[in-house]
Chain A
Amino acid sequence: MNFMGYRRPDKTVGIRNHVLVLPTVNCANQVARAIAANVKGTVWVEHQHGCSQLGADAEQTVRAFVGHGIHPNVYGIVVVGLGCEVARAQDVAAEIKKQCPHKPVHTIIIQDEGGSYKSIQAGAVAAQHMIIEASMLKREPIDVSELILGTECGGSDACSGLSGNPSLGAASDILIDAGGTSILAETAELIGAEHIIAERAVNDAVKEKCYATIKAFEESAKQMGVDMRGSNPTPGNIEGGLSSIEEKSLGCVYKGGTRPLQAVIGWAEKVTNKGLVYMDTPGNDIEQLTGMVAGGCHICVFTTGRGTPTGSPIAPTIKVATNTGMFQRMNDNMDLNAGTIITGEETVQQVGKRIFAEMLEVASGKVTKAEVLGHNDFAIMRIGPTM
């Protein structure tokens, strides 16, 4: 089973051919935005971090930057720094170049360039070259076993666990059976459902890591001294009928399908296994998405009941509505409808096949609504204090 993708010189596979403009510190956001605004066809991100960070917290921020830079959906990258930050642009660029020697990487440091206008000009010229080079590449048939899917649910309602997530799980199983890879994440939303995923682990070490990861997250939440309910499930989840974190989790875990759990990895860590992998991320949609994409997910399938517009700048994000009412109400944002399971028009397996078919279309170049809308959602998960 094939899709049409880009084979990179290092044999990795991309399903998009983006030129990314990435600031390594929030002080460089405006220059990065201006570079992208002046070079049609580029994508860019902005964020709040990259400085005043310590130890493992700083390390994982850099990991997210590098993960986006080496991502095979990215043809080339302009890395923009200020010059005095913790996450130095030249270090991020060097690490990307080390891991992907073939990839065009250009570094702009605002203090060295002599201010914003000079930085914008230099960055725009570099990006323009990359856009023209990227446009000459051709797609070729690639076996589906090379595809990495990121599964996500956000703005959940009571239908998420009945329609959207079980059918996404069915699509995930189809991909894994074809030799591909699927990521389950959102540790907050595995609380109360940990046994369902952990008991499918391929060995005791993975099983124990799975339980320990979820327990550590729950303990850290409990340190706030309040009931999780009200933050997760959110007020919107509760309005949609979800009554507790356990209920939400039990619906969420279905999107991981039914295949064995191969590995547990940290936020933004590179996915190296085939089959089902669990990435430890928050339930926060955008921090989760950013972590999975940094880990190498090519494509995200995102189920939603309340309706949410989120999309990654570099990994196409397919929106699946869990109910027909929202699919019609927020059709600007929704690519597929799983609400047909609720009304009895389709089965979970039928919708799962439909999701999988759409994944192959999108992997081959069909654009998602979030891409057309220009989404470039990107958020860094913090684990340390701001200095």
Chain B
Amino acid sequence: MNKFKAIVMKAKDNVATVTEDVEAGSDVLINVDGETVSLHVTDRIAFGHKVAIKNIAKDEKIVKYGEVIGMATTDIAAGQHTHVHNIVGCRGRGDLVSK
């Protein structure tokens, strides 16, 4: 079985996807470009959800698969849950089209 509890797809990603439920306050091992790194997780992260692996500033791009998946709506610290409460998508935003 896998010793890693989170998957980082590409070296430039700033989030990882957890592959099992992770409790707040736990330390998990992640594999960043072949290097094993320990990450202190501060929120409870459910299976399949994302955790920030770097500090991300408000308005900074969220990168997964080496590609932009959205933008931070607030500062996000490494170890925090990264999802719809603190990031938004940049595409298909009909709500931003001026009437």
Contact = CB atoms under 8 A, between A and B. Distances in A.
Interface stretch (A54-62, A85-93, A217-225, A307-315): A217-225
A343 interface: yes
Interface in B52-99: 62, 64-65, 67-70, 82-84, 87-95, 97, 99
Interface stretch (A30-38, A134-142, A236-244): A236-244
B77 to A, nearest CB: 17
Nearest to B87: A243
Contact of B65 (A161, A226, A344): A161
A157 interface: yes
A361 interface: no
Interface in A32-88: none
B44 interface: no
Interface string A307-344: 00000000000000001010000000000000000111
B94 A246 contact: no
Given A218-B92, A227-B94, A227-B95, A241 B17 contact: yes
B48 interface: yes
Nearest to A227: B95
A175 interface: no
What's the dominant secondary structure at chain B's contact region?
loop
Contacts of B99: 225
Interface in A177-226: 191-193, 196, 218, 221-226
Nearest to A224: B94
A221 B70 contact: no
Contacts of B88: 227, 229, 244
Given A224-B94, A226-B94, A229-B89, A251 B65 contact: yes
A222 B84 contact: no
A227 B48 contact: no
B2 A227 contact: no
Interface string A224-267: 11111100100000101101111100110000000000000000
Contact of B92 (A221, A247, A345): A221
Contacts of B47: 241, 323, 325
A250 B67 contact: yes
Contacts of A191: 91-92
B46 to A, nearest CB: 7
Residue from A193, A225, A241, A342 with most neighbouring chain B CB atoms (10 Å): A241
Interface residues of B, number: 33
A364 B63 CA distance: 43
Contacts of B46: 241
A382 to B, nearest CB: 20
A191 B90 CA distance: 10
A225 B92 CA distance: 10
A158 B89 contact: no
Contacts of A323: 47-48
A241 B92 contact: no
B42 interface: no
Contact of A246 (B83, B91, B97): B91
Given A228-B94, A229-B84, A246-B68, A241 B89 contact: no
Contact of B89 (A224, A240, A246, A342): A246
A157 B83 CA distance: 13
Given A218-B92, A228-B91, 11 more contacts: A159-B48, A162-B7, A191-B91, A192-B68, A193-B67, A223-B94, A225-B94, A240-B48, A241-B47, A243-B69, A244-B91
8 tightest A-B contacts by CB? A344-B2, A244-B89, A228-B92, A158-B48, A241-B48, A222-B94, A247-B69, A241-B49
23 contacts: A157-B48, A162-B7, A191-B91, A192-B91, A193-B67, A218-B92, A222-B93, A225-B99, A227-B92, A228-B94, A229-B92, A241-B47, A241-B48, A244-B69, A244-B70, A245-B91, A245-B92, A246-B67, A246-B90, A247-B69, A247-B70, A247-B89, A250-B67
